[in-house]
């Protein structure tokens, strides 16, 4: 399926990117961090837990709130996902603020290039402000993107709201969404936006308007935008 905008070869005036799994290689560090945090939390609470495999850990990336944390807790303790998050989040922020570059290759070139050619950029992540601020500052994303939205942003209660706010504040007429997971696709569909799926092995979105394999030049070409 290809949207009218992509078929027309008229370039977008706003590109909204998901972050984890789309711009940011969370999978380099997430599984070890959640296992270490879960072990710390369980020891402090005297709770028996099962350590997730990499695949089980990575399955929650891109989800929101309880969808991220509750799967790691025993059934009778799933309601305590806030407590687990309170233990693990500082560990996450420390990791992404450690000086190691976790952005996918080319992202640090792509976002400033879009700005330079007059295309607005916004980031939309199903996280809360503590983690979002860690990514924005620790990975330098705030400096190379125009707008950033998370679940704690004003007028936002969902990823759909983030996209709607991005369009409102920019006045964009031809927005597109780039993401790797189902919530990204659902938000784009809800607003009638073209959706570009960042290909990955954790999910499959067959009715995306376009599949992107991660090469920034490929994305620019697909969107009829000026190359580097």
CATH number, domain of 154, equals 3.40.50.1000
| 43 plus 141 within the same structural domain | no
Question: At 149, is the pLDDT very low, low, confident or very high (cuts 50, 70, 90)?
Answer: very high
Residue 71 within any structural domain of the chain: yes
Question: At 7, is the pLDDT very low, low, confident or very high (cuts 50, 70, 90)?
Answer: confident
- pLDDT, residue 78, reads 98
In DSSP notation, 135-168 reads HHHHS-HHHH-SEEE-TTSTT-SSHHHHHHHHHH
Question: At 1, is the pLDDT very low, low, confident or very high (cuts 50, 70, 90)?
Answer: low
- pLDDT, residue 2, reads 63
| 107 plus 202 within the same structural domain | yes
In sequence order, which residues have a C-beta less than 8 Å from that of residue 140 and are 6 or more positions away? 108
Range of the domain at 86: 27-96
Question: At 8, is the pLDDT very low, low, confident or very high (cuts 50, 70, 90)?
Answer: confident
Question: At 219, is the pLDDT very low, low, confident or very high (cuts 50, 70, 90)?
Answer: very high
| 143 plus 35 within the same structural domain | no
What digits encode the pLDDT tens for the residues 74-112? 999 999 999 999 999 999 999 999 999 999 999 999 999
- pLDDT, residue 9, reads 86
Last residue within a domain, chosen from 61, 76, 96 = 96
In sequence order, which residues have a C-beta less than 8 Å from that of residue 4 and are 6 or more positions away? none
| 78 plus 116 within the same structural domain | no
Count of CA atoms in the C-beta half-sphere (13 A) of 14 = 24
| 10 plus 31 within the same structural domain | no
* Number of domains making up the chain: 2
| 113 plus 66 within the same structural domain | no
What digits encode the pLDDT tens for the residues 154-196? 999 999 999 999 999 999 999 999 999 999 999 999 999 999 9
| 47 plus 131 within the same structural domain | no
CB 163 within 8 Å of CB 45:
no
Last residue within a domain, chosen from 96, 117, 147 = 96
What digits encode the pLDDT tens for the residues 25-84? 999 999 999 999 999 999 999 999 999 999 999 999 999 999 999 999 999 999 999 999
CB 212 within 8 Å of CB 219:
yes
| 174 plus 73 within the same structural domain | no
- pLDDT, residue 214, reads 96
Last residue within a domain, chosen from 96, 117, 135 = 96
Residue 227 within any structural domain of the chain: no
Residue 77 within any structural domain of the chain: yes
Residue 224 has pLDDT above 70, yes or no: yes
Model-wide pTM > 0.75: yes
d(CA 147, CA 140): 13
| 126 plus 146 within the same structural domain | yes
| 111 plus 180 within the same structural domain | yes
């Amino acid at each position: 399926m290809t949207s009218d905008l992509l078929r027309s070869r008229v370039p977008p005036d706003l590109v909204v990117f998901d972050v984890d799994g789309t711009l940011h290689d969370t999978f380099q560090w997430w599984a070890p961090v959640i296992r270490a945090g879960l072990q710390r939390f369980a020891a402090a609470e005297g709770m028996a837990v099962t350590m997730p495999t990499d695949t089980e850990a990575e399955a929650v990336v891109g989800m929101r709130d309880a969808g991220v944390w509750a799967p790691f807790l025993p059934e009778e303790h799933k309601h305590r996902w806030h407590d687990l998050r309170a233990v693990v989040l500082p560990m996450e922020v420390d990791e992404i603020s450690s000086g190691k570059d976790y952005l996918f290759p080319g992202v640090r070139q792509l976002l400033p290039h879009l700005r330079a050619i007059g295309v607005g950029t916004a980031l939309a992540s199903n996280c809360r402000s503590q983690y979002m601020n860690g990514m924005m500052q620790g990975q330098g994303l705030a400096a190379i993107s125009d707008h950033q939205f998370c679940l704690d942003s004003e007028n936002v209660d969902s990823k759909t709201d983030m996209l709607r706010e991005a369009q409102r504040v920019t006045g964009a007429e031809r927005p597109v969404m780039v993401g790797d997971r189902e919530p990204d696709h659902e938000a784009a569909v809800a607003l009638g936006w073209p959706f570009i799926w960042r290909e990955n092995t954790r999910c499959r979105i067959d009715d995306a308007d376009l599949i992107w394999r991660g090469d920034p030049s490929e994305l620019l070409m697909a969107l009829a935008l000026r190359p580097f």
